[in-house]
Structure 1
Amino acid sequence: MKKILVTGGLGFIGSHTVVELQNEGFEVVIIDDLSNSSESVLEGITSITHKKPIFEKLDLKNKAAVAHFFKSHSDISGVIHFAASKAVGESVENPLLYYENNLNTLIYMLKYVLGLQESNFIFSSSCTVYGQADTMPITENAPVKPAESPYGNTKQIGEEIIRDTCKANQKLKAIALRYFNPIGAHPSAKIGELPIGVPQNLVPYITQTGAGLRESLSVFGDDYPTNDGTCIRDYIHVVDLAKAHVIALQRLLNNKNDTNFETFNVGTGVGSSVLEVIHAFENVSSQSLNYKFAPRREGDITSAYADTEKANSVLGWEAKSSLHDAMDSAWKWEQKIRNL
């Protein structure tokens, strides 16, 4: 049984990936600093898989602590690196926080991964690396444009750091998964998106508004050049996304990779507008959502949805769940945690 490290493993995508790794027979070690997650997520994971992952509370900005961790866990066969700050708006307001947290931690991780017997690394990248792409859907060959936000820039620079490290160290095998907009929750409703404070992402804000925690939802911009004037994104169910990480990891562990640094888009290939997401929620919850239009938000782009052909054909992965499925699972999760 191979041991896999998941950084940020109690976060939204990380926790769902831990479940899928355990379902595939991996032993999982989680590092999380609990800055945007809760230790209670461990109970949810264990309840689903009947296996409790090893958990270490650790701030990856602490280089000495990272070094000590890898001395204690020298038998790790692969790392899936989620730990990062991830809100576009917050990154515009506080860029130094994002550069320190997202880049320093990545550098420390790579440094110690190179010291392992097996150096397999999956990087949590983002479609934000493309900026506002010229054509839709976006392929992996689309040019990486100047980032629209410091968050997006950390993902671009992160990929460059990994690419350069792979070039200098053939031992390192890495895959960057450029994913689009993860939403939804585990079908068991035992884990899901659990933002601390005011949600930065659309779907938890929708479900919290539906649950009465928020008075209304602000839709940022109604004058974009789209069918209904609102932004378009590719919303992928978090369980589909989690499974893509496991498949990518297995590709490296089985030496199936074509080069020692590969990139894959992970999305549904379907673009949905903000209003379409709201209407999907209204459909699954049988209620009207209180929302209002607000000015455009700095850092937002008009449209982004994936061409998933490479992931479909090379990884043998494809998204299975619809927007309706994802919104239904997100609402059931919200109802459960609010005792509705």
Structure 2
Amino acid sequence: MSVHSIGDQARAFALQAASYRIKTTLATLTDEMASGEVADLGQRLNGNTQVLGHIEARITGLDQFRRNATEAALIVQGMQDVLVSVQSDAGALGLSLVAEPFNETESLLEMRAGEVGGAFETAVARFSRSVGDRFLFSGLNSDMPALAQASDIMDALELATTGLTNAADIAQAVSNWFDAPQGGGGFLDVAYQGTLGQPQRIEIGEGEAIGLSTSAATPALRDVLKGLATAALVERGVLAGQHQERRDLMQIGGQILLDNNSNLLSEMGRIGLGQQIVDRAQTESASALATLRIARNDLRAADPYETAGALKQVEAQLEALYAVTARLSSLKLVDFLR
């Protein structure tokens, strides 16, 4: 009968290789048990990873749409907050300018003129507000404020009304300045720093985008500034010494604010519609992402019962290997020769 044997060094190498293989398998099974995912996706899917790749690509795309929708939600909410504040203040101020007689006193008129001047500065600052690093009312020039400084705008209006001696003419000059087309040397050239026409577009879903067309040049917003600026010229000393004309000028400004209130509310309604579109897109993206992640997890998930059984089997193999190794290491030549 043939007897096959191996040397001590070869036996040690064989035991070491078996130990490494079992430990590697044990580590792999332990990771699968902890993560809940199989380590070898190719083997799990029999090499057909196309479906999983498609799912991963869609998840990546929807994640980007979700981030875009979150940004869009912040922008439209910021725009709505600005317009709510402006509409509230402009409505109350317009009503007081038209209804109050200022008691025929110059001091009261000066006090109210100062209030209007402050309201104009506040409105300019609000229309130049930003969310993160994006300015809300600048059109495509979202990296810069929508409007120049309030003082610069008022300086330009003072220059445009120089030499006029009654409230009606000054109010008309202010209106012409604000309504002048681009290149006419008015509001669009001096005060507005954004773009015209093309809206900001943000992709918020698969085949769905929101266009943000409201800017500081939108007529409803521009007329708020027009009404406030018309009345605020009194603070600049326009029509000095003509109490009745100054009072009339402030009332004209207040009437512009009141007449524009419905237009401002309509613009707020348009932004509100944009908020609804973004909310719907966020809901749809969240639902699609949840479905795709469940499908991905089903493809990648390890069977916990099967993994636990394999883990027990590998542990038994490792214990047996250790027992054999311990037994072999205790052998002595004297014992073998007996």
- Category of TM-score, reference length = shorter chain: under 0.3
Which TM-score applies when normalising by structure 1? 0.25
Greater relative contact order, per chain length (Cα 8 Å cut-off, separation 6+): 2
Which TM-score applies when normalising by structure 2? 0.25
Structure with higher helix content: 2
Structure with higher strand content: 1
Larger Rg: 2
